[in-house]
Amino acid sequence: MSTLDRRFNKLAKDQRPKYPPPFSLRFTFDERAKLDVLRGSMPLGRYIREQLLGDDAAPRKKRGRYPVKDQEALGRVLGALGSSRLSQNLNQLARASNTGSLPVTPETEDELRQACADVQAMRQDLLRALGSLSEGGEP
């Protein structure tokens, strides 16, 4: 083993994991039922931590319960997708393009441009709904 390998292994071994491994605890059915009543709507792990550690419990990272920032924008996107035949139409366009049977007329070009604009509008609404886009801006 080279010196470089030994140094790498030492550095890799010295680093602690981000979190300690989880701890498992088994309860009887009666114990678990009692805990379920006592915890109410609180997650069981949180209830047990608070009971064991009280005020000494380290605050936990909170994940957003509702990642959607704009329910109305998301509703518009889902409504547009639900009322469209987008997947079927794209499949038909791909098939016609692959077989060489897609007639390219000015009307076809206009419809394709409109479809692209519609998809872009849905993208903007979806990004806005998820909070990744401010009003009128780019992601």
Q: Is the pLDDT of residue 53 over 80?
A: yes
The residue-averaged pLDDT of 66-81 equals: 76
Would you say the C-alpha torsion 48, 49, 55, 61 has a positive or negative sign? negative
**pLDDT tens, position by position, 2-12:** 776 777 677 66
pLDDT value, residue 113: 81
Letter string b/e over residues 126-136, b meaning 16 or more CB atoms within 10 A of that residue's CB: bbbbbeebeee
Contact (CB, 8 A) for 37 and 98: no
Contact (CB, 8 A) for 67 and 131: yes
Give every CB contact of residue 71 below 8 A, 6+ residues apart in sequence: 129
Task: Give percent of the chain with pLDDT exceeding 70.
Answer: 80
The residue-averaged pLDDT of 105-132 equals: 79
pLDDT value, residue 22: 84
pLDDT value, residue 31: 95
* Cα–Cα distance measured from residue 80 to residue 125, given in angstroms and rounded to the nearest whole number: 11
Task: pLDDT band for 36, please (50, 70, 90 cuts).
Answer: very high
Two structure tokens written together for 40? 């109410």
pLDDT value, residue 134: 52
Contact (CB, 8 A) for 47 and 35: yes
Three-state SS at 35: helix
